[in-house]
Amino acid sequence: MRSLGWPTRTFDSAQSYLQWLLAAHDNETGCLISDVRMPGMSGIEMFDHLLALGAAPPTLFMTAFRTDALRAQVTAMGALALLEKPVDVVVLEHHLTRVLGAP
């Protein structure tokens, strides 16, 4: 993302992102990009928490284990897309521009 021109903030886990979000008292996240499978809380569990808080930003999920059922699940939850690893930069840039505008 940074090499495409957008500012970024990274977190080492879903829990770290949620802690930052709750501590910041303001969701500055223009677009969240999350792996589906992560140690501890999964990306989908994190997104569920964000939905419950009413604080879910536009979200892109990525995975190396894409299935039609997983794609249907994340889109039914309101995510923008499920991207397959390795992520195609053109596809990523398309989604980011749609949500954030040009960098």
pLDDT confidence bin for 28, thresholds 50/70/90: confident
| Nearest-angstrom CA–CA distance, 55 and 32 | 11
Reduced to 3 states, what is the DSSP secondary structure of residue 54?
A: coil
* H or E segment to which residue 14 belongs: helix 14-24
Residue 56 has pLDDT above 90, yes or no: yes
Q: Enter the pTM of the model.
A: 0.92
Please give the Cα distance from 33 to 39 (Å, whole number). Answer: 16
pLDDT band at 25 (very low <50, low <70, confident <90, very high): low
Over range 33-47, report the average pLDDT: 96
CA distance 61 to 35: 6
2/57: higher pLDDT: 57
Structure tokens at 26: 């303001």
